[in-house]
Amino acid sequence: MSTETTTNRRLAIVPAHNEVEAIADTVAAIRRRAPDFDVVVVDDGSTDATAERAAAAGAAVLRLPFNLGIGGAMQSGYLYALERGYEVAVQVDGDGQHDPRHIHDLLERLEGDPGLNMVTGSRFLVSGGEGYRSSATRRVGIRVFAGVMSLITGRRVTDPTSGFRMTDRRGIELFARDYPPDYPEVEAILLMHAHHLRSCEIPVEMRPRLTGESAISSTQSVYYMVKVLLAVFVGLFRARPEAEGEDEPRAPAPAAVERTR
């Protein structure tokens, strides 16, 4: 591996669960397209050789001893970013859906606006239609969440379930401390909003997943939709942090309680 730059301040977090076919390509693509990003693969209890392939491709690997789900896996990545002092973290799914070429589009947007804390790549802002196919149930779900989240945050959210998102240090600190357990993307938007952190979307194209299966089957989507709507609804009633609370523990819940999630 090339070791000319040893002080990358930016990190790509790649959650992967049994992505043995795609992980090496994904890591290689990130290293090629975004060489200023370190890569950490969070192996979420894979039963195949995902971790070995990722390490061989030059990524740091966090091996979770059992499957935590996407939320727990991503939070491990944010904890890693927090501990190592990274300034920017971007989530790039291990299955190849997220095109690393867009990493710098996200970065440009994030760094171009100092008030911005998170930039999400949206499939539905791409001109010329969808650019992405998914099951009807899931599309309805995304539509519903988009409406709800737009209403809550007061700005247009088109792709609330997109995991292709980049956060600054504030976002890393927040997510390392508190990140929703499963199907976390929608709730994370609410979390950002509740902490007065600003986020926006830019158009990206996503590719059909190379391998593996989606974390959510069609039958499960309904269950998840109900669950996430409940979480979002309850989340609205949680006490907000004061204004620009940087690192103080959140007033209502001590850290220990927060971590029970």
Partner 1 sequence: MILLGSKLSPALSQRVEVIILAVVVCALIFELIRRKRMMERYALLWLAAGVTVLVLGLWKGLLSTISHAVGIYYPPSVLFAVAFLFVLVMLVHFSMTVSRLSDQNTVLAQRLALLQERLEDEPSELTGPDGDGGEPPNAQADVQDQAEVQPTARG
Binding site for partner 1 (CB under 8 A): 1, 3, 5-9, 38-39, 43, 45-48, 51-52, 55-56, 58-61, 63, 65-66, 83-86, 181-182, 226-228, 230-231, 234, 237-238, 252-253, 257-258, 260-261
Three-class DSSP labels, 177-246: HCCCCCCCHHHHHHHHHHCCCCEEEEECCECCCCCCCCCCCHHHHHHHHHHHHHHHHHHCCCCCCCCCCC
CB of 132 to partner 1, least distance (A): 27
Between residues 171 and 184, which has the closer beta carbon with respect to partner 1? 184
CB of 115 to partner 1, least distance (A): 25
Whether the Cβ atoms of residue 155 and residue 190 lie closer than 8 Å to each other? no
Q: In what order do the strands lie in the sheet with 10-16?
A: 60-64, 37-44, 10-16, 88-91, 165-167, 118-122, 199-203
CB of 238 to partner 1, least distance (A): 6
Q: Checking DSSP bridges between strand 37-44 and strand 10-16, what pairing results, if any?
A: parallel
3-state secondary structure of 174: helix
CB of 22 to partner 1, least distance (A): 18
Between residues 48 and 111, which has the closer beta carbon with respect to partner 1? 48
Between residues 181 and 203, which has the closer beta carbon with respect to partner 1? 181
Comparing CA positions, the residue from 171, 183, 186 lying closest to residue 216 is: 183
CB of 260 to partner 1, least distance (A): 6
Between residues 61 and 119, which has the closer beta carbon with respect to partner 1? 61
Between residues 209 and 227, which has the closer beta carbon with respect to partner 1? 227
Q: Which residue has the tokens 């989530």?
A: 91
